[in-house]
Amino acid sequence: MDATSKQELTVNGMTCGHCAQTLTAVLGTLSGVTSVDVDAAGGRAVVHAAHPLSTEVLAGAVDEAGFELLAVHERTR
């Protein structure tokens, strides 16, 4: 992969490690995603992918996991 995307998500509703596991699993199924780091206490998730994912796709996945996507920050490196 020559183009690597890193997006930081602000997520509302996570309370414990199980929440983090659920969100990690759902985000991990999205096309192009290579790894996911979720910080439940901080309400953040970092999605590493081959290409940036649309806010709609990310919001859908977060919603599917039972949480609410508040914001997406693009990180390019």
16 binds Cu ion, rule: CB under 5 A: yes
Rank residues 13 and 60 by Cβ distance to Cu ion and give the closer one.
Answer: 13
Per CB under 5 A, 41 contacts Cu ion: no
Q: With binding defined as CB under 5 A, does residue 12 bind Cu ion?
A: no
CA 49 to chain CA centroid, nearest Å = 10
What residues have CB less than 8 Å from 41, skipping those under 6 apart? none
Choose which of 1, 3, 18, 21 interacts with Cu ion (CB under 5 A): 18
Of these, 11, 19, 33, 47, which contacts Cu ion (CB under 5 A)?
19
Q: Could you give the dihedral angle defined by the CA atoms of residues 66, 14, 74 and 77, in that order, rounded to the nearest 10 degrees? A: -120
* N-to-C CA span, the chain: 13
- Residues making contact with Cu ion (CB under 5 A): 15-16, 18-19
